[in-house]
Structure 1
Amino acid sequence: MTKLVKWLYGLNVLGALAYIAVCLPKLLMGQPIYPGQAGLLGQVTAGIVLALLPPVLERLFHFQFPPILKLIFELFILGSVLLGTGMQFYNIPYWDKFLHLFSAAMLAGLGMAIFCALTPQERLKTTSPLLIALFAFTFGATIGVFWEFYEFTFDGLLGLNMQRYMAHGVLLAGRAALMDTMGDLFADVFGSLALSVFAYFQVKKDVKWLAAFQFRR
């Protein structure tokens, strides 16, 4: 697991640097490879920072994230930043919805990790698996809602189209304008629910399974 996470760190960072090395000269020569290339370069550069965030936080605060969460996080950064944004994979149908499912499951797992960190170990052994699963589900789905708040806010402030309320520069109306946002929320709920249901049965069978989602000093 640790070797795979390190490999993903390298893939995200080196892949982003290779992207910048190829796309930046083209942009400076006036021959951008992708539309909106300057903005894409900025986001890919930010992706390097995000990819390195877990090990930096671990060194600063002297703890370790659960390896499974680091693995999912690095996969998410790869799919959303380098591939999704930088290489325009978001144009692939349902790529965005797949990432919402994936990230919601990751956030539900983070919710479990936080629950475990806030609960004394002796009490954790007798805690209802249903309570743990409900906390994980609620945490994952709620962060998904806050993300839609973020998209709505910056679409209005910066004239962006993250919520896909425009198509080819034309404002959508009625149900069509809601399809992207509601699809994202459905994906957030289903992703959180899937991880939470799986966690419920695993914890019910053996509470030691939670060790995979616990922070370590």
Structure 2
Amino acid sequence: MDLKKDKALIINLVYMAILAITLVYDMMAKEGVHTFRIGLAAVTAWIMFFVYKKTFLRRSRISFYLIFIFVFAAMYLGSVLDFYIIIPGYDKILHLISGIIIAYIGFIFYLTLVKTDDKEAVNPMMGVVFSIIFSIAAAGAWEIWEFSTDQLLGFTSQNNSLIDTMMDIICGTVMGILANIPIAMYIKGKKVRFIEKLVEDIRR
């Protein structure tokens, strides 16, 4: 493996260094109050890395960057640095962002399934519908994950509130739908720079 060319691995290693420094600070200044969350963040990062390497996501480096940004914002900034507490509405901001990210992951998955990145060969309706359904499903799956960790590990991700859970799903769904507007425009022949970069990334 050429470390210089494996940017995903480099990013993960740098992240591990940041987590290690944070762990030392947490143990010295805060009596290790966030030790478990730091460890969970590290485990999650490596799971994310291996999923990226072993699935359809490996065709798109952009997909790794998008997922990493979300995981970093959710687990490091949110849980370790307490942004969920410090910044009002931070959880909802993340769910809005996740809807956009998941929509693009869904589109990458669709292109992989149909085995083409040629926009002329992609059915516009199928590509957009698949991406939207993928976003809705992922929003629901994330809430199942949060419910499971709350019950098993004693977290309070959902604040024991059905309203909070449903608002999270709605945020992810709405942004997933809106994120498909540029996808639909691209498929119909419009020039959309980000989607073009995403497709070119898969083509490499």
Shorter-chain TM-score range: 0.7 to 0.9
One-letter amino acid matched to 2:121 = T
Task: From 66, 74, 95, give the equivalent of 1:72.
Answer: 66
Unaligned runs of 5+ in 2: none
- 2:166 is the counterpart of 1:182: yes
Distance 1:104 1:11, change over 3 A: farther
Q: Indicate the residue corresponding to 2:80 in structure 1.
A: 86
Task: Tell me: higher relative CO, structure 1 or 2? Use CA pairs within 8 A at least 6 residues apart.
Answer: 1
CA contact (8 A) 2:136 2:173 kept: yes
Q: Deviations over 1:29-56 (max 9, x none)?
A: xx34xxx4232232233244246446xx
CA contact (8 A) 2:12 2:46 kept: no
> Aligned partners of 1:94, 1:103: CA distance in 2, in Å?
14
Distance 1:111 1:17, change over 3 A: same
3-state SS of the aligned residue for 1:160?
A: coil
Q: Indicate the residue corresponding to 2:198 in structure 1.
A: 212
Q: Indicate the residue corresponding to 1:200 in structure 2.
A: 184
Q: TM-score, normalised by structure 2?
A: 0.77
CA contact (8 A) 2:103 2:180 kept: yes
Q: Indicate the residue corresponding to 2:43 in structure 1.
A: 46
Q: Indicate the residue corresponding to 1:129 in structure 2.
A: 124
> Aligned partners of 1:5, 1:135: CA distance in 2, in Å?
27
> Aligned partners of 1:144, 1:63: CA distance in 2, in Å?
18
CA contact (8 A) 2:104 2:131 kept: yes
Give the Å deviation of 1:216: 5.3
One-letter amino acid matched to 1:41 = I
Give the Å deviation of 1:114: 1.3
User: What do you get for the CA RMSD once the two structures are aligned?
Assistant: 3.3
3-state SS of the aligned residue for 1:164?
A: coil
One-letter amino acid matched to 1:16 = L
Give the Å deviation of 1:145: 0.5
Q: Deviations over 1:111-144 (max 9, x none)?
A: 1111111114398623332221111111011111
CA contact (8 A) 1:105 1:195 kept: yes
Q: Which has the larger radius of gyration?
A: 1
Give the Å deviation of 1:179: 2.6
Task: From 138, 141, 147, give the equivalent of 1:146.
Answer: 141
After TM superposition, the runs of 4+ consecutive aligned structure 1 residues lying more than 6 A away are 2-7
Q: Indicate the residue corresponding to 2:16 in structure 1.
A: 13
Distance 1:156 1:137, change over 3 A: same
Identity %: 19
CA contact (8 A) 2:57 2:64 kept: no
Unaligned runs of 5+ in 1: 166-176
Task: Give runs of aligned pairs for residues 110-125 of structure 1, distance below 5 A.
Answer: 110-121=105-116, 125=120
One-letter amino acid matched to 2:89 = Y
Give the Å deviation of 1:159: 4.0
> Aligned partners of 2:120, 2:90: CA distance in 1, in Å?
39
